[in-house]
Amino acid sequence: MSSITLTNITKNYGSVQVIRDFSEKFNDHEFITLLGPSGCGKTTILRMIAGFERPTAGEIMIDDVVVSSAGNFVPPNLRNIGMVFQSYAVWPHMNVFDNVAYPLKMKHVPRPEITERVMNILEAVHLSPYVQRMPAELSGGQQQRVALGRALVSNPKVLLLDEPLSNLDAKLRESMRFEIKEVQGRFGITVVYVTHDQTEAMAMSDRVIVLDRGEVQQSDTPMNIYRRPENQFVADFVGKINFIGGVSSGGQVEFPGGQKMTYTGGKTGAVVVGVRPENITMRQDGGVLRGKILQQYYLGDVNDCRVDIGGEILRVIAPGNTYGKFSIGGEVWLDFDEYLVFDENH
Amino acid sequence: MGKSRFDVKAALISAIVLFLLVFNVFPMCYLVFRSFCVENGFTLEAFRRIYTYPLNWNALRNTLITAGLSMVFGVMIAFPLAWLVGRTDMYGRRFFRTLFVMTYMVPPYVGAMAWLRLLNPRVGTLNVFIAGLFGLPENPFNIYSIGGLVWVLTTFYYPYAFITISRAMEKMDPSLEEASKISGASPMKTLMTITFPVMLPSVVAAGLLVFVSAASCYGIPSIIGAPGKIDTVTTRIIDYVYVGSKEGLTDATALAVSLMVTANIVLYVSTFVCGKRQYITVSGKSTRPNIIELGKWRLPITILVAIFAVVVVVIPFATVAMTSFTKNLGKPLSGSNFTMRYWNILLTRKGILDTAKNSLISASAAATVGTFISCVMAWLLTRTKAKARHIPDFLITLGSGTPSVVIALALIMTMSGRFGINIYNTLTIMVVAYTVKYLMMGMRTIVSAMSQIHPSLEEASLISGAKWQQSFRDVTLPLIAPSVVAGWFLIFMPSFYELTMSTLLYSTDTKTIGYELFTYQTYHSQQTASAIATGILVMVVSVNWLLNKLTKGEFSI
């Protein structure tokens, strides 16, 4: 129910700069994911929004209130934010009810109201049967729900999630993904979600912000991040992709092996062509590039191939039924259904 | 291959268990047996006799009062200190930490010697100073009192609690506190509702550790209590042994059993209570510890802690050092009252050098035996699933929890030829006593180092074709080497200056430096005793410095 505005945020640890001039506005109701490899600064940004870290420079606003700037700093306990930690941080000496009731007690909500609101939240996160349990008696997924319930119980303006699913097994991770998304819809809350898992980011977010070494690489919808990555880092980090170096001139890109491909875009000189393996079609004859099949693996739904186009080896993910139509060592023609052209160093 | 490896494990466990059975379990059991058994079978005669003397009741009461108060005050000091050092942005946190941990390695009787000089009711330096400062008609403090005893016990045993609580605080997942803050709790509220309750089991354990240590202490009550006619159970036991008669020994035994039972009940309760509520709060990801900003309190609190450190560490140590250079103890140290005489004595007198040599030999031997057992135990506990591996672990813990005076008494009664082993009057009995008492310190250090090495590192070496012995030598040992050295010194240092057990076990040829210091302090010359004590302090500081170097500043007990 709130927006978060970060303006020119910089964060140094000693002489190491972990965030460089970060400016973004997270809108009301938006589900934002900060995505990037470890050390990219995504957790630091989250912790600065929470108030656990103080930016070296820059300003953070929640709605119209400045919570962090050079002269002003609101401590975390006064920010009215909900947060789910990677380790859950469920207090081991309190039972489920007391854990979830804690934020309300801190706000001096009257007793009967606490009980009612806690029970409602526990219902929402499917924990009603476990009210009196101690955390040690809960599974990882249940502890996760306690943490989620605790983060939501006081109707915070903002919900922060720090890799909340990384300690769960694959199946539970998928179901929790939907649960979090559903909870967001029901509570109509602004969510900032930190992860290094691109599938999570794609599945849940309205907007994904890809970070690398403290800088924003791209901030866009999941579809645009995937289909129109702005640079090679984003293209490589999100999904699978082949990169082929080449030289662009006169409406054509020439690859090192001498083969050419028509290209009508504006980039000239040394370029890198990026093409996702599933966007390559294999034909027996009549395509753009000619190659030789080196390997193919039948995976049921798809046929995962390696094709040598003369100096470059491309990964091609073709439909499963193509397996058997081509033989290893045999000739094959490739068509690019969709591709991207990057400047060489970008 | 698998079979031969199993045999090695079994053999090692058996050897260690055998050592512990002979030198630890059997003597203790015999001690208990003897206290109930005089010639004609089971009797409570000895207990009846000792508890008809009001003197012994008094001693028991004094022990409970002093140890109990030291426990309360010790924890009240240690918890805030551990929190300030571990969790806040107080100035000089690392320095204070090193200082408090170092106090842990100082022999407690040095504190007694210092406070004796400072708070003597008539001429105590600090007493006179304070009286002068506030224009008091008489000196405010009397060290020869229950209060004085509690003061010295507290100032020298609070580091035990400090270390236990600090360690638990370091292990606590910082996001537990962050979760509380984000829920709207102020830092103070977080401290009271989250940090303290989560830490409670460790706080209880720390308190009980102080209680048992203070109750088992001999050096402090004998130096301070004797002039003030304050007896404790430990001093009574040693008095009884010194009487020498058979009856005396039986009475000592009965008192020792009372002390041992008290200590063991306390330790059992603490492991039971804490074991049940042991929270696993190690986080998935080690974030930087959550540092609380003290804001405007930062400087005042730092000054407060600094004053505490000056009063509790600097003043006593400086007093002892200064005493060793003072010609006439009735006057303050000055140019004309300065002498190197006592340092000369320390470095030349044969009696002192011989005892130093004795201590050096027996402490080194104990440390070496102890470190070897510790390494094997670390391997057994962290790398094997041998069923019996917790038996020696339990026995070692039990040995350390037993008051020194009880261990010594039990060894005297069993190791002087009655059961085929006669090591009485030799250095060997010292080595055995020290090993039984201090083994656990080394073992804990090495076990914790070992448990931090992922087994896959060793497995990688095994898969490369190394035998497990080679793997241990080439991979594990180099990685844990700093902790092994630390473990060695943690057994060596307290053994080197040990007083209580040495007092009971020494013979003319096997006097130790601790005992020698004690006799100088009590009967001959406080200055000589202070010179010896200062020498020991210098050793403690050097060892600390060395350990910090070796472990790259990460040394912690």
Residue B184: closest CA among chain A residues belongs to which residue? A77
* Last residue in a domain, options A192, A217, A235: A235
A31 with A83, same domain: the answer is yes
Structure tokens at B427: 């250095």
Considering only CA atoms, which of B78, B325, B340, B117 is closest in space to residue B209? B78
Cβ of A103 within 8 Å of Cβ of B280? The answer is no
Based on its alpha-carbon atoms, the radius of gyration of chain B, rounded to whole angstroms, reads: 24
pLDDT at B280: 39
Task: Map out the domains of chain B as residue ranges.
Answer: 1-38+341-557, 44-323
Pairwise CB contact (< 8 Å): A87 & B285? yes
- Cα R_g (chain A), whole angstroms: 25
Domain B44-323 class in CATH: mainly alpha
A201 and A282 both lie in a single domain: no
pLDDT for position B69: 92
Q: What residues contact B495, with CB distance under 8 A and at least 6 apart?
A: B359, B362, B363, B366, B367, B434, B438
Which tokens sit at A24?
A: 């973004």
- CB within 8 Å: B183 and A77: yes
State which residues form the domain around A76: 4-235
The interface pTM score, or ipTM, of the predicted complex is 0.74
Phi, psi angles (nearest 5°) of residue A103: -60, -30
Q: Do A91 and B180 touch (CB under 8 A)?
A: yes
Judged on CB neighbours under 10 Å (0-12, 13-18, 19+), B179 is: buried
- Single out the residue in A208, A235, A262 at which a domain terminates: A235
Which chain B residues touch A154 with a CB distance below 8 Å?
Answer: 183-184
Q: How many distinct structural domains can be found in chain A?
A: 2
Task: Note whether B295 contacts A: Cβ–Cβ < 8 A.
Answer: no
pLDDT at residue number B273: 64
d(CA A56, CA A68): 10
Q: Is A101 on the interface with B (CB under 8 A)?
A: no
3 state DSSP class of A135: helix
* CA distance, residue B100 to nearest chain A CA (Å): 28
Handedness of CA B244, B247, B252, B256 (dihedral sign): positive
Residue B282: per-residue pLDDT? 34
CA gap B134, A197 in Å, rounded:
69
CATH code for the part of the protein at B1-38+341-557:
1.10.3720.10
How many inter-chain contacts (A to B, CB under 8 Å) are there? 86
Q: Are B359 and B513 in contact (CB under 8 A)?
A: yes
What integer pLDDT is reported at residue B154 of this predicted model?
92
| Same domain, residue pair A131 and A231 | yes
pLDDT digits (tens, 9 = 90+) for A102-126: 989 888 899 999 999 999 999 888 8
* Residue B330: predicted pLDDT: 66
**Does A155 lie in the same domain as A92?**
yes
The domain that holds A32 is classified in CATH as 3.40.50.300
Q: CA of B282: which chain A residue's CA is closest?
A: A87
* A212, A235, A258 - which closes a domain: A235
- Closest residue in B to A150 (Cα) is B183
Tell me the shortest Cα–Cα distance from A58 to chain B, in angstroms.
Answer: 20
Whether residue B179 lies within 8 A of chain A, CB to CB, comes out as yes
Tokens, residue B257: 């059993």
> Do A275 and A206 share a domain, yes or no?
no
Q: Do A102 and B183 touch (CB under 8 A)?
A: yes
Q: Are residues A47 and A190 in the same domain?
A: yes
The verdict on A221 and A259 lying in the same domain is no
Of B186, B194, B290, nearest to A91 by CB-CB distance is: B194
Within the 24-83 window of chain A, which residues sit less than 8 Å (CB to CB) from chain B?
Answer: 50-52, 75-83
- Report the helix count and the strand count for chain A, using DSSP H and E: 8, 20
Identify the pLDDT of residue B279: 44
Partner-chain contact B179 A87, CB within 8 Å:
no
Please indicate whether, in this complex, the C-beta atoms of A77 and B185 are within 8 angstroms of each other: yes
Q: Do domains B1-38+341-557 and B44-323 have the same CATH topology?
A: yes
Residues A163 and A283 in one domain: no
A144 and A50 within one domain: yes
Distances (CA, A) of A138 to A125, A128, B347: 14, 13, 65
CB B159 within 8 A of CB B97: no
Is A244 in the same domain as A102? no
> Could you give the 3-state DSSP secondary structure of residue B395?
helix
In a mutagenesis test of the A interface, which of B173, B176, B182 is the best target, namely the one with the most A β-carbons within 10 Å? Answer: B182
Whether the Cβ atoms of residue A228 and residue A42 lie closer than 8 Å to each other: no
Instruction: Please answer yes or no on whether A166 and B281 come within 8 Å at the CB atom.
Output: no
Q: What residues in A contact B284, CB-CB < 8 Å?
A: 86-87, 166-167
**Closest-CA residue in chain B for A165?**
B284
Which member of A77, A92, A151 has the closest CB to residue B181? Answer: A77
| Amino acid, single-letter form, for residue B20 | L
For residue A219, which phi and psi values (nearest 5 degrees)? -135, 110
Question: Under 8 Å CB-to-CB from B226, ≥6 apart: which residues?
Answer: B235, B522
Q: Give contacts of B281 with chain A, Cβ < 8 Å.
A: 92
Taking an 8 Å cut-off on Cβ atoms, the answer to whether A106 and B189 are in contact is yes
Per-residue pLDDT of chain B (557 residues; tens, 9 = 90+): 344 455 676 787 788 888 888 888 888 888 787 777 766 667 777 777 777 777 778 888 888 889 889 999 999 999 999 888 888 888 888 888 888 888 878 888 888 888 888 887 777 778 777 777 777 777 777 878 888 889 989 998 898 888 888 878 877 788 888 889 889 898 888 888 988 888 888 888 888 888 888 888 888 888 887 777 788 888 888 888 777 777 777 778 888 888 888 777 877 776 666 554 444 333 333 345 567 777 788 888 899 999 998 888 888 888 888 888 777 766 666 667 777 777 777 777 777 788 888 888 898 999 999 998 888 888 878 877 767 777 777 778 778 777 888 888 888 878 776 776 777 777 788 888 898 888 888 888 888 788 777 777 777 777 776 777 777 777 788 888 888 888 888 888 888 888 888 888 887 778 888 888 888 887 878 888 888 888 888 888 888 788 777 766 555 54
The CA-CA-CA angle for residues B235, B238, B244, to 5°, reads: 145
pLDDT for B76: 92
Kindly give the parts of chain A with pLDDT less than 70. Answer: 1
Q: What is the pLDDT of residue B284?
A: 33
The residues, any chain, with a CB within 8 Å of residue B272's CB and separated by 6 or more, are none
Sort out which chain B residues have CB atoms less than 8 A from A163's CB and list them.
285
Residue B440 CA, distance from chain mean position: 11
Please give the residue of chain A at the shortest CA–CA distance from B290.
A52
- CATH assignment at residue A253: 2.40.50.140
How high does pLDDT run on average in chain A? 89
- Say whether both A199 and A258 belong to one domain: no
Q: Of B186, B200, B279, which is closest to A77 when you measure between CB atoms?
A: B186
d(CA B312, CA B423): 40
Predicted local confidence at residue A36, as pLDDT: 92
pLDDT digits (tens, 9 = 90+) for A315-342: 999 998 888 888 888 889 998 888 999 9
A298 close to A337: Cβ distance less than 8 angstroms: no
Q: A296: which strand partners? A: A305
pLDDT digits 0-9 by tens, B131-159: 777 777 777 778 788 888 899 899 988 98
Whether A153 and A115 map to the same domain: the answer is: yes
Among candidates A78, A89, A154 on the partner chain, residue whose Cβ is nearest the Cβ of B175: A89
Residue A192 · residue A159 · CB < 8 Å? yes
